[in-house]
Amino acid sequence: MQESSTKTFSVRFPDIYQRIQAMWETIRGEHTQEDGSSSLAAIGLNEVSFYDKFPGADLPSRFRQGCMEQRGDVELIADKTLPLAGLASYIRTVKSDEFYFYFGLVQINNEYCYTITGDCGVKDQAFYEPLFDEIWQSLQYFGDPGEEFAKQQAAIDAMFAKYAPATKEAEEKKTASPFHIPADGQDSWELGGHQFRLLPDSKVHISETDGALYVRLDGEMPGYSDDAHGHLLNDYEDGKVYLQFYFKGIYNNGTPTGTFIFEQERDETYRSYLWKGGFPFSFNFNGTATLQDGWLGISGHFDNYLLQVAKRLPVEELEWTKYRFLSAEELETATPDIVHHIQLTNPDPALLNDTLHPFTEMETLTVFYSSDNEAATSLLEVPTAIKGFMSLRELNLTGIRGIDSLPQWIGDLKELERLDIAGSQIADIHPSIFQLPKLQYCYLSNNRLQSIPPVLPDTLKTLVLENNQLTSLPASLSALPQLRHLNISRNPLQELPPGLEKIADLNLELEKKMSLLDYTYHGANGKGVIPYDGTMFQAINDTGLRQTLENAVKALQLGDYQQGLLQLARQSVALATTAPDDYANTGNHRFGGLPDLPPDIAYPSFTDQNGHEKGLQFIAQLNCADISHLQDYLPRTGMLYFFIQDQEEMGPKVIYFDGDLTTLQSAAGLDIEEDYIFDQNGIYTPFQAAADKYPGIPFFYNARDYFQDKAPELEALEEMYDETKALKEALYPSVNPVHSVNSYVFKQHDTPEAEAVNALKGKPEDWMVLLRVSSDDNTGFNFWDAGDIYFMIHKSDLVQGDFSNVYCGLESS
* Residue-wise pLDDT tens digits, 162-179: 434 343 333 333 466 788
What's the pLDDT score for residue 206? 94
**b/e per residue 299-333 (b: at least 16 CB within 10 A):** bbbbeebbbbbbbebeeeebebebbbbbbbebbee
For 577-592, the pLDDT digits (tens) are 999 999 999 999 999 9
- Distance, in Å, from the CA atom of 574 to the CA atom of 48, rounded to the nearest integer, reads 44
- Mean pLDDT of the region 389-412: 95
- Distance, in Å, from the CA atom of 343 to the CA atom of 364, rounded to the nearest integer, reads 8
- Mean pLDDT of the region 633-659: 95
- Distance, in Å, from the CA atom of 693 to the CA atom of 689, rounded to the nearest integer, reads 14
What's the pLDDT score for residue 72? 65
- Residue 158 pLDDT class (50, 70, 90 cuts): low
- Mean pLDDT of the region 143-169: 63
One DSSP character per residue, 77-117 reads EEEEEEEETTEEEEEEEEE-SSEEEEEEEEE-SSSEEEEEE
For 241, phi then psi, to 5°, come to: -140, 165
CATH architecture of 2-151: 3-Layer(aba) Sandwich (3.40)
- Residue 235 pLDDT class (50, 70, 90 cuts): low
- Mean pLDDT of the region 641-652: 92
What's the pLDDT score for residue 162? 44
Asked which of 227-231, 266-270, 317-321, 599-603 is least confident by mean pLDDT, the reply is 227-231
Asked which of 172-186, 192-206, 367-381 is least confident by mean pLDDT, the reply is 172-186
The fold adopted by the segment(s) 321-473 is 3.80.10
Q: Domain coordinates of the chain in residue numbers?
A: 2-151, 173-318, 321-473, 534-598+684-811
What's the pLDDT score for residue 275? 82
Burial environment of residue 527 by CB neighbours within 10 A (0 to 12, 13 to 18, 19 or more) = exposed
Listed in sequence order, the residues at least 6 apart from 252 whose beta carbon sits closer than 8 Å to its beta carbon are 258, 330, 333
- Distance, in Å, from the CA atom of 670 to the CA atom of 650, rounded to the nearest integer, reads 23
- Residue 738 pLDDT class (50, 70, 90 cuts): very high
Q: Quick one: which of 246, 258, 256, 248 has its CA closest to 214?
A: 246
Dihedral of the alpha carbons of 451, 455, 458, 460, in degrees to the nearest 10: -20
Are 2-151 and 534-598+684-811 the same fold in CATH?
Answer: no
Q: Where in 326-447 does DSSP place strands (E)? A: 341-345, 364-368, 394-398, 418-422, 441-443
- Full-prediction pTM beyond 0.85? no
CA geometry: angle 664, 670, 674, nearest 5 deg: 140
Q: What is the 3-state secondary structure (H, E, C) of 344-373?
A: EECCCHHHHHHHHCCCCCCCEEEEECCCCC
Write the CATH number of the domain with boundaries 534-598+684-811: 2.30.320.10
Helices (H) and strands (E) in the chain, counts: 14, 45
With contact defined as beta carbons under 8 Å apart, do 21 and 28 qualify? Answer: yes
For 660-698, the pLDDT digits (tens) are 999 999 999 999 998 899 988 889 999 999 999 999 999
More confident residue, 366 or 98: 366
